[in-house]
């Protein structure tokens, strides 16, 4: 069974604007590891987007694997990127399940960014955190 390890959102300048780890005992080391994986995935995203000829599909699929971690990508129309880090020990991840997680994050992200009371496009919202925490509860267990 796939296990969600981290959700990262990067802005169009590839700066992490949101990162949530679902490790049992989050540490500074795991945070640095996930930041590193997010940054190394940016090159793969850029390459895929350059090779895609006006694709309307926001889902990029599997970007890379590092050990038993698989990194999946999703690009928003604004250029922001959502990354999922999933632990997959000897199992196959259903693409439909990963797409569904991305779509839920995307819907929460749009609701947050389109809120007229959101200050400067910051990803600070208790509603958005609830969505992310629920995804973690369901998929990180």
Q: pLDDT value at position 41?
A: 93
CA distance 57 to 75: 9
Give average pLDDT by consecutive 10-residue segment, the chain, 141 residues: 88 88 82 90 87 73 90 90 86 80 90 76 77 86 71
Q: pLDDT value at position 114?
A: 80
CA distance 89 to 59: 23
* SS3 state at 3: strand
pTM of the predicted structure, to 2 decimals: 0.87
> Do residues 52 and 46 make contact, with C-beta atoms less than 8 angstroms apart?
no
Q: pLDDT value at position 68?
A: 87
């Amino acid at each position: 069974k796939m296990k969600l390890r981290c959700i990262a959102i990067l802005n169009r300048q590839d700066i992490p604007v949101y990162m949530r780890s679902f490790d049992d005992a989050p540490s500074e080391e795991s945070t640095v590891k996930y930041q590193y994986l997010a940054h190394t995935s940016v090159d793969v995203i850029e390459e895929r987007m350059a090779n895609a000829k006006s694709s309307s599909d926001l889902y990029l699929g599997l970007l890379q694997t590092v050990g038993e971690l698989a990194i999946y990508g999703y690009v928003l129309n604004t250029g922001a990127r959502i990354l999922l880090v999933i632990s997959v020990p000897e199992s196959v991840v259903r693409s439909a399940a990963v797409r569904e997680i991305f779509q839920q994050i995307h819907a929460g992200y749009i609701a947050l960014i389109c809120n007229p009371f959101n200050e400067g496009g910051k990803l600070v919202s208790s509603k958005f955190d609830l969505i992310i925490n629920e995804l973690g509860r369901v998929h990180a267990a």
